[in-house]
Amino acid sequence: MSAILETEMLPGVSSPGVAAPSVSPTSLITLKINGVEKKLPLAPWTTLLDALREHMDLTGTKKGCDHGQCGACTVLVNGKRINSCLTLAVMQEGNEITTIEGLAKGEELHPLQEAFVEHDAFQCGYCTPGQICSAIGLMNEGKAQSRADIRELMSGNLCRCGAYSNIVDAIDQVMNERGKHA
Amino acid sequence: MNPFSYTRAYGLDTAVEEKVDGADFVAGGTNLIDLMKENVTHPQHLIDINHLPLQEIEETESGGIRMGALMRNADTAYHPLVEQRYPLLAQAILAGASPQLRNMATDGGNLMQRTRCYYFYDTATPCNKREPGSGCSAINGFNRIHAILGHSESCIATHPSDMCVALAALDATVHVKSKRGERSIPFLEFHRLPGDTPHLDNTLQADELITAIELPAKGFADHYTYVKIRDRQSYAFALVSVAAALELDGTTITDVRLALGGVAHKPWRDTQAETLLKGKQATRENFQQVAESILANAQGFGHNTFKIELAKRAIVRALLEATQNEHKS
Ligand SMILES: Cc1cc2nc3c(=O)[nH]c(=O)nc-3n(C[C@H](O)[C@H](O)[C@H](O)COP(=O)(O)OP(=O)(O)OC[C@H]3O[C@@H](n4cnc5c(N)ncnc54)[C@H](O)[C@@H]3O)c2cc1C
Ligand code: SF4
Ligand code: FES
Ligand code: FES
């Protein structure tokens, strides 16, 4: 399929199927990841997930399904959890993106990371970065009042190893420590 | 994904100006980017509308609310005005997708989401919706998730939204804008039945942008429920869902709204069936009668025939629950 590769489309072009000009499809995109701004030449069709993994060496964020169905790619954008496989990197310019790599302070793990270790909240670990980022989003939202709520509000993160009950234990513990629910 | 160009629109006029053939709006991206990865849709240009000033809920003069099309599904469901006055809408939204997806998905995008029919997604198979005239693979294929009402020989797909079922029950209005001007579409006229043009999901024209969704004052906050039946308890599309809302005077039904999801090409609201209940007692027998009447012309295709009985039971359950439910907040 021929495509228009300029960054601006000419107004009034009625059949964009014609004549793809040989302009470079990439443009310089500025992303702020874990507090650091980076400028990257990226094509507009690069997802945030692929930008992280393939262009920034941030492979902590995992690709499970690439279709919004598993949650392995969960990251935080301005403190809210999203699926990085279903957004384009270019759509996230100007936002604060936090990935699993941005949670520890030096050698000191984030309390949720600690709790996941303590509770054995994983087996293979593939879903874990997404689970932890999702749990931080859940705590930021402040809607979970019970273990049942945690289960429902963590349903966007699948775990093929079935570590669910330990994942809920880990999150429940950190929420209790923070006094977020009774 | 196929290559495409990208621009960001900051004003409504620029957004509609740029919406020429081959260009698509991208909002949350949760449906569009998925379909682009699957090569089901391949726009040549994307207009990012995430920065448009359509991110608020305002109260209207007539006592209702107007929700900007770029409101996120999660922010809508947790908005105090929605929680207090339209809890049916909040409940339906929170029954859909996952917290991550609801943080991304917008209200406008939710209306525009396309069917989850397997063959629509599978570009190796015929599908009239994806490729008009190629045939419908579902009618004689796997059709467990397909329609039992309002379908045609051309297409038996369902509209997958939960939010839209509540919006149909609540008599929403969709506000749209194009270079030609602005207009308002009553919710029941927004989505359409497939007929012999199943490639058209709705009545929005190609050059139009959804700007807002408006709800009238009446929110049925006292007696309502959204029942969603699916293969797993969370993070799955509805097999059948029911939005039920009642206004009661003692045990007499003074007003009622009933809309079904997962059963048709659009949220299914049968206003004639609703009138059967008005002035009647809120009893299981009366609810059963209305359920029979709504499903009277239902037709399944084998794998999905179970939905007919399931829908009847879901209607009765939803109406019983709505009768008992008192709004908590
Ligand atoms: C794994 C998964 C599970 C899901 N489960 C559910 C579920 O259980 N229940 C449910 O209801 N939904 C579910 N969804 C669907 C989800 O709700 C929709 O994908 C979402 O609402 C679409 O909104 P968006 O803003 O992301 O739209 P986009 O993907 O950005 O856009 C979708 C379409 O709408 C058009 N569009 C967007 N905004 C406008 C506008 N303002 N004016 C005109 N056109 C516009 C776009 O051009 C595009 O064609 C699920 C999705 C996934 C991926
Ligand atoms: S049901 Fe509709 S969407 Fe599915 S294959 Fe048939 S025509 Fe396509
Ligand atoms: S990789 Fe994004 S949800 Fe599975
Ligand atoms: S720990 Fe293996 S998928 Fe969750």
> According to the model, what pLDDT value does residue A153 have?
98
> According to the model, what pLDDT value does residue B326 have?
65
What pTM value is reported for the model?
0.95
Average pLDDT over chain B reads 97
For the segment B204-218, the average pLDDT, to the nearest whole number, is 98
Does B314 map to a domain? yes
Number of domains in chain B: 2
> According to the model, what pLDDT value does residue A35 have?
97
For residues B316 and B17, give the distance between their C-alpha atoms in angstroms, rounded to a whole number. 48
Note down pLDDT in tens along chain A; length 182 residues. 333 333 334 333 334 443 444 445 789 999 999 999 999 999 999 999 999 999 999 999 999 999 999 999 999 999 999 999 999 999 999 999 999 999 999 999 999 999 999 999 999 999 999 999 999 999 999 999 999 999 999 999 999 999 999 999 999 999 999 985 54
Does B306 map to a domain? yes
Does B112 map to a domain? no
pLDDT band at B325 (very low <50, low <70, confident <90, very high): confident
Does B86 map to a domain? no
- 3 state SS for chain B: CCCCEEEECCCHHHHHHCCCCCEEEECCCCCHHHHHHCCCCCCCEEEECCCCCCCCEEECCCCCEEEECCCEHHHHHCCHHHHHHCHHHHHHHHCCCCHHHHHHCEHHHHHHCCCCCHHHHCCCCCECCCCCCCCECCCCCCCCCCCCCCCCCCCCCCCCCCHHHHHHHCCCEEEEEECCEEEEEEHHHCECCCCCCCCCCECCCCCCEEEEEEECCCCCCCEEEEEEECCCCCCCCCCEEEEEEEEEECCEEEEEEEEEECCCCCCEECHHHHHHHCCCECCHHHHHHHHHHHCCCCCCCCCCCHHHHHHHHHHHHHHHHHHHCCCCC
The CATH number for B254's domain is 3.30.390.50
Does B107 map to a domain? no
> Ligand 4 centre and the CA of B132: distance in Å?
42
The tens digit of pLDDT for each residue in B41-58 reads 999 999 999 999 999 999
Q: Would you call A10 an interface residue with chain B, using a CB distance cutoff of 8 Å?
A: no
For residues B248 and B271, give the distance between their C-alpha atoms in angstroms, rounded to a whole number. 18
More confident residue, B194 or A26: B194
> According to the model, what pLDDT value does residue A181 have?
52
> According to the model, what pLDDT value does residue B259 have?
98
Chosen for mutation from A6, A9, A23 (greatest number of chain B CBs closer than 10 Å) is A9
> According to the model, what pLDDT value does residue B329 have?
42
> According to the model, what pLDDT value does residue A4 have?
36
Domain that holds residue B241: 222-322
Does B31 map to a domain? yes
Residue whose CB lies within 8 A of the most ligand 1 atoms, among B101, B130, B159, B209, for a mutation test: B101
Boundary residue ending a domain (B32, B48, B64): B48
> According to the model, what pLDDT value does residue B327 have?
53
> Ligand 2 centre and the CA of B293: distance in Å?
27
Ligand 4 pocket check for A125: Cβ under 6 Å: yes
The CATH number for B28's domain is 3.30.43.10
Does B294 map to a domain? yes
Percent of chain B with pLDDT over 70: 99
Does B169 map to a domain? no
Percent of chain B with pLDDT over 90: 98
- 3 state SS for chain A: CCCCCCCCCCCCCCCCCCCCCCCCCCEEEEEEECCEEEEEEECCCCEHHHHHHHHCCCCCCCCCCCCCCCCCCEEEECCEEEEHHHCEHHHHCCCEEECHHHCCECCECCHHHHHHHHCCCCCCCCCHHHHHHHHHHHHHHCCCCCHHHHHHHCCCCCCCCCCHHHHHHHHHHHHHHCCCCC
> According to the model, what pLDDT value does residue A179 have?
80
- Tell me if A8 and B44 make a contact (CB, 8 A cut-off): no
pLDDT band at B80 (very low <50, low <70, confident <90, very high): very high
Ligand 1 pocket check for B107: Cβ under 6 Å: no
The tens digit of pLDDT for each residue in B141-172 reads 999 999 999 999 999 999 999 999 999 999 99
Q: Per-residue pLDDT for B251 more than 60?
A: yes
Distances in Å between the Cα of B122 and the Cα atoms of A121, B147, B156, B199, B293 are 36, 19, 16, 15, 36
List the residue whose alpha carbon is closest to atom 3 of ligand 1: B97
Residue whose CB lies within 8 A of the most ligand 2 atoms, among B113, B115, B193, for a mutation test: B115
